[in-house]
Amino acid sequence: MLAALAALTLQACGLLPGAGSAHAALAVTGTRFIYPAGLTQQTIRVANSGDQPVLLQTWLDRGAPDADPSTLAVPFLLTPPLVRLDPKGSVALQLRHSGEAMPEDRESVFWINFLEVPPRPPGDNWRLKLAVRLRMKVLYRPRGLDGSPERAIARLRWQLRPGERGAGPTLEARNDSPYFVSLAEVALAGTPSPLRLGGLTVPPFGSAALPLPQGIEALPPGTPLRYQAAGDGGEAIHGEAEIARDGSPAP
């Protein structure tokens, strides 16, 4: 049943443009969840802001949104996995780490899926009812990591990469920290509007690439840019940098 419902889910914010029969009534406290090593459990509060009861089903994955939940193995347990929420009602979910060994030199990321299944009125057998899914990050944070999430955002390195196989150039963000960085937007000097990224993730000790706006084929080293990334509480943290020639910080 869950796999069939998942096929109808609406990801990201849980909204499908133009689908009037889909309405997300779930309200989750928080935008992401930081799980420090050694924590016994974390409470996640979910409320039904709608006027109808809904069925809430939850599970975690490792970043594969279309994977069959019954086949997933993750080192977290979220309870209760299935609960009915009455109108204006709420539930306190408990997130616990299983104790499985995790990398100690960097954060690990997992995703919580909140699947909202709306009721079907008696006798209404023809109207399509869409289940709505919201996905949110869980960041497992080991003890003693160098630096801080704020410093990781501030020290991103940026470099222009040539396109491959006829593709246009890309702008690469390099993260030399042990923290995940979730980018919301990047504004390049000389462009009319920022690039909306919707949470592009730059992994620890890794990189992420984003395509340049149409019509931009080159950006000289030293080109300034501004960017926004999400802090631990979901707040916007602003950064400024210059495009480097060789990936090293621009002066």
What is the CB-side half-sphere exposure of residue 170 using CA atoms within 13 A?
A: 13
For the chain, which residues make up each domain, given as ranges? 26-141, 149-243
Beta strands in 65-107 (DSSP E): 76-79, 82-85, 90-97
The CA-to-CA distance between both ends of the chain, in Å, stands at 56
When comparing pLDDT for 26 and 21, which is higher? Answer: 26
Least confident of 30-39, 102-111, 129-138: 129-138
- What pLDDT sits at residue 204? 99
Pull the structure tokens for residue 42: 């974390």
Of 140, 183, 184, which is closest to residue 37 (Cα–Cα)?
A: 140
Average pLDDT over every residue of 204-228: 85
Q: What is the pLDDT of residue 188?
A: 86
State residue 177's pLDDT score: 98
Query: What integer pLDDT is reported at residue 239 of this predicted model?
Result: 96
Distances (CA, A) of 174 to 46, 72, 181, 202, 238: 35, 30, 10, 7, 16
- Region of poorest pLDDT, from 15-29, 113-127, 213-227: 15-29
Which has more confidence, 5 or 199?
199
Return d(Cα 188, Cα 88) in angstroms, integer: 44
Average pLDDT of the segment spanning 169-190: 92
pLDDT at position 249 over 80: no
Q: What is the pLDDT of residue 213?
A: 72
CATH of range 26-141; options 3.30.1330.10, 1.20.1250.20, 2.40.110.10, 2.60.40.10: 2.60.40.10
Q: What is the pLDDT of residues 146-170, one digit of tens each?
A: 999 999 999 999 998 877 776 777 8
Peptide bond into 142 cis (omega under 30): no
- How many whole angstroms separate alpha carbon 91 and alpha carbon 53? 13
Look up the pTM and report it: 0.82
Identify the CATH number of the domain defined by range 149-243: 2.60.40.10
Q: What is the pLDDT of residue 16?
A: 33
Return the pLDDT at 131. 83
Return mean pLDDT, the chain. Answer: 84
The Cα 236–Cα 183 span in angstroms is 9
Identical fold at 26-141 and 149-243?
yes
| Model confidence band, residue 18 (pLDDT cutoffs 50, 70, 90) | very low
What is the per-residue pLDDT across 69-124, written as a single tens digit (0 to 9) for each? 888 999 999 999 999 999 999 999 999 999 999 999 999 999 999 999 987 766 66
Backbone angles phi, psi at 152, to 5 degrees: -60, -40
